[in-house]
Structure 1
Amino acid sequence: MMDVETGARAAAPPAPEADVKTDASAAAAPPPPPEADADAAWKAPAAMVLVQLFNTGMVLLSKAAIGGGMFVLVLLAYRGIFGAVIILPLVLLLERGKWKEMDWRAAGWIFLNALIGYAVPMSIYFYGLRDTTASYAIIFLNMIPLTTFILSLLLRMEALHIRTMAGSLKVAGVLLSVGGTMIISLYKGEILHLWNPILHLRSEEHVGVARHQLRGTFLLAGSTFMFACWYLIQSKILKVYPYKYWSSMATCLVGGFQTALAGVIVRRDVNAWKIGWDINLLTIVYSGALATAGKYSLNSWAVAKKGPSYPPMFMPLSVVFTVVLGSIFLGDDITVGSLIGTTLVIVGTYIFLWAKANELPKK
């Protein structure tokens, strides 16, 4: 669920009443000492760089595990359940007893939240990752805020304001990012041999990736669309059950059981569910501990210090990290087309997020 937490902050709904009260009390409190501001000045960007490294590691490990034959639904089932276990201490510490306020209506929304925000989009995302490369798949996670913006326009939940500077820059950012993605998909160019990879994928896997690039693109685009739809329903969930740690833990747990049920139906092989001391176990533990709980905690801290528009500004870094580390560790090809397309995606995403951030104070 939390793999796109930074994207959610870009399209997040208005804060519930409890958060408004917190902000009001914070405004009445005395300003923090200068040394606190100095600490936040370097800790906030460092935390956001860590978040993008966590995201990169999750994608690279998942690619290696899936490429090694791990069943996608097994990975998601174990990851969701383990992620819920990791978030449990935060629930007990910060929201103890709030489970009593979860009625059948809230439970129904959490079930829908897990289905639309975890089980379905993560399943098709990982199948798209299997058909493509890590450096290509990570781009679609970065395009979630842009897709959410487009859906908001179509559903008339947001105005474009094309005549303003912010509105024009948002449109330009979307066009650049979409154009960059199309360049990566359709144009390869010369392969740049910059270094020898540490791990070598099997040659037949590279052939399979090339053969299924189009199918993988459709799957990744579908996951991006599903995630965008998920962000648009978050305001409803916050109104029904405004406890973020409980809802996050419940969503991870329910999403894990949803993918487990789908996995049992799709593949009735007991051996597919066995986990040894290998990269599959490392992927599950890493995804639950760092790419879920760790990333969620750091994002929440950064939002409290810098505001909701701050974490998304670092999202394009995950593209750079994945391109470089995917080439070093997995042997993903770096081509002229991928460099041009990646650059356009990064520039377009930054332009869009900058325009979005500068538009927020005016609303």
Structure 2
Amino acid sequence: MKVSLPFVGMVMAECAQVGLIIVSKAVMSKGMSSFIFICYSNALASLILLLSSLLFHRSQRPPLTFSIVCGFFLLGLFGFLAQLFGYTGINLSSPTLGTAMLNLVPGFTFVLAVAFRMEKVDWRTFTTLAKSMGTIVSIGGAFILTYYKGPPIWMTRFPLNSSPQLFVQLSNWVIGGLLLAVDCVMTSAWIIIQALILKKYPAELIVVFFYCFFVTILSAIVCLVVERDPFAWSLKPNMRLAAVLYSVCK
């Protein structure tokens, strides 16, 4: 039973992530800015995690040092970039492509883990061969899927039965797929950084709180520069509020 629990947890996390992709696509299609969505969801998560961390880590809290705080900021920076590229890519493409591109994360994580010597490579073992083949297949399949929809993107003239709008949609699909690929790279880097921080600061709730806190600050700064319309911060219709609440639950 204990052996199967991590796999069950990962499956549930993937299902929740797919749900978040669909919900975020729906609200952004209705006009909600991805910057504001990131800011609201992480701000609410920061508040919940602050209360939770104070409750669960009342007696024992590892000491905070400047290097640890810098690590938290770096974790927040990569997390913010991952969310930014991810939501923008989903907005330009589709939830189906966004879900498919999630398969890149294990492959990129394996590559980075090998680069940082967190993963041992022994070509004589079946484990290393399986991980390497899986990485190649996942990355190759994701890029094939990115360029799959419609006619070639290098087409300079429109066929008689097509339109400039179709060409724009195809271009958006490809750009969205590439942004989702960048999102996967950032997510993999975020996982590596998180693993390194947890070795030095083994307090999961506090780590996640500071991550959401710094993402909130970074996204709020970007929102103040990019989003000049005060009505863009509105959570009406209620679907926006429901999406933010779901993102926190995820």
TM-score, normalised with respect to structure 2: 0.83
Q: Which residue of 2 aligns with 1:125?
A: 86
CA offsets per residue over residues 75-120 of structure 1, 9 Å max, x none?
A: 000000111223234313321255682233322221111111x211
Q: Which amino acid aligns with 1:80?
A: N
Q: Compute the displacement of 1:132 (Å).
A: 0.9
Q: Which residue of 2 aligns with 1:115?
A: 77
Q: Compute the displacement of 1:211 (Å).
A: 3.0
Partner of 1:102: helix, strand, or coil? coil
Q: Which amino acid aligns with 2:248?
A: G
Q: Which residue of 2 aligns with 1:310?
A: none
Relative to 1, partners in 2 of residues 1:109 and 1:49: Cα closer, same or farther, differing over 3 Å? Answer: closer
Q: Compute the displacement of 1:44 (Å).
A: 6.9
Q: Does 1:170 align with 2:136?
A: no
Relative to 1, partners in 2 of residues 1:48 and 1:227: Cα closer, same or farther, differing over 3 Å? Answer: closer
Q: Compute the displacement of 1:265 (Å).
A: 0.9
Matched-pair identity in %: 26
User: Matches of 2:138 and 2:199 in 1, distance apart?
Assistant: 33
2:16 equivalent among 38, 48, 54: 54
Q: Does 1:144 align with 2:105?
A: yes
User: Matches of 1:131 and 1:262 in 2, distance apart?
Assistant: 20
Relative to 1, partners in 2 of residues 1:43 and 1:167: Cα closer, same or farther, differing over 3 Å? Answer: closer
Relative to 1, partners in 2 of residues 1:207 and 1:50: Cα closer, same or farther, differing over 3 Å? Answer: farther
Aligned residues: 237
CA offsets per residue over residues 155-205 of structure 1, 9 Å max, x none?
A: 55433322221222122212221232233223348xxxxxxxxxxxxxx99
Q: Which residue of 1 aligns with 2:161?
A: none
Q: Which amino acid aligns with 2:97?
A: Y
Q: Compute the displacement of 1:231 (Å).
A: 2.1
Relative to 1, partners in 2 of residues 1:271 and 1:218: Cα closer, same or farther, differing over 3 Å? Answer: same
User: Matches of 2:11 and 2:199 in 1, distance apart?
Assistant: 31
CA offsets per residue over residues 192-239 of structure 1, 9 Å max, x none?
A: xxxxxxxxxxxx998754331221122111111112222222344224
Q: Which amino acid aligns with 2:54?
A: L
Q: Which residue of 2 aligns with 1:267?
A: 227
Q: Which amino acid aligns with 1:173?
A: G
User: Matches of 2:106 and 2:225 in 1, distance apart?
Assistant: 33
Instruction: Say if 1:148 and 1:232, in contact at 8 Å, map to a contact too.
Output: yes
User: Matches of 1:205 and 1:226 in 2, distance apart?
Assistant: 31
Q: Which residue of 2 aligns with 1:87?
A: 49
User: Matches of 1:94 and 1:69 in 2, distance apart?
Assistant: 38
Alignment gaps of 5+ in structure 1: 1-36, 190-203, 292-363
User: Matches of 1:179 and 1:264 in 2, distance apart?
Assistant: 38
Instruction: Say if 2:41 and 2:245, in contact at 8 Å, map to a contact too.
Output: yes
Q: Which residue of 2 aligns with 1:135?
A: 96
Q: Which residue of 2 aligns with 1:159?
A: 120
Alignment gaps of 5+ in structure 2: 151-163
Q: Which residue of 1 aligns with 2:215?
A: 255
Q: Which residue of 2 aligns with 1:339?
A: none
User: Matches of 2:87 and 2:166 in 1, distance apart?
Assistant: 17
Q: Which amino acid aligns with 1:165?
A: F
Partner of 2:102: helix, strand, or coil? helix
Q: Which amino acid aligns with 1:242?
A: P
TM-score, normalised with respect to structure 1: 0.59
Q: Compute the displacement of 1:151 (Å).
A: 2.4
Instruction: Say if 2:103 and 2:142, in contact at 8 Å, map to a contact too.
Output: no
Q: Which amino acid aligns with 2:174?
A: L
CA offsets per residue over residues 306-342 of structure 1, 9 Å max, x none?
A: xxxxxxxxxxxxxxxxxxxxxxxxxxxxxxxxxxxxx
Relative to 1, partners in 2 of residues 1:208 and 1:60: Cα closer, same or farther, differing over 3 Å? Answer: farther
Q: Which residue of 1 aligns with 2:160?
A: none
Relative to 1, partners in 2 of residues 1:63 and 1:209: Cα closer, same or farther, differing over 3 Å? Answer: farther
2:35 equivalent among 73, 79, 85: 73
Deviates more, 1:238-247 or 1:218-227: 238-247
Q: Compute the displacement of 1:252 (Å).
A: 0.7
Q: Which amino acid aligns with 1:66?
A: M
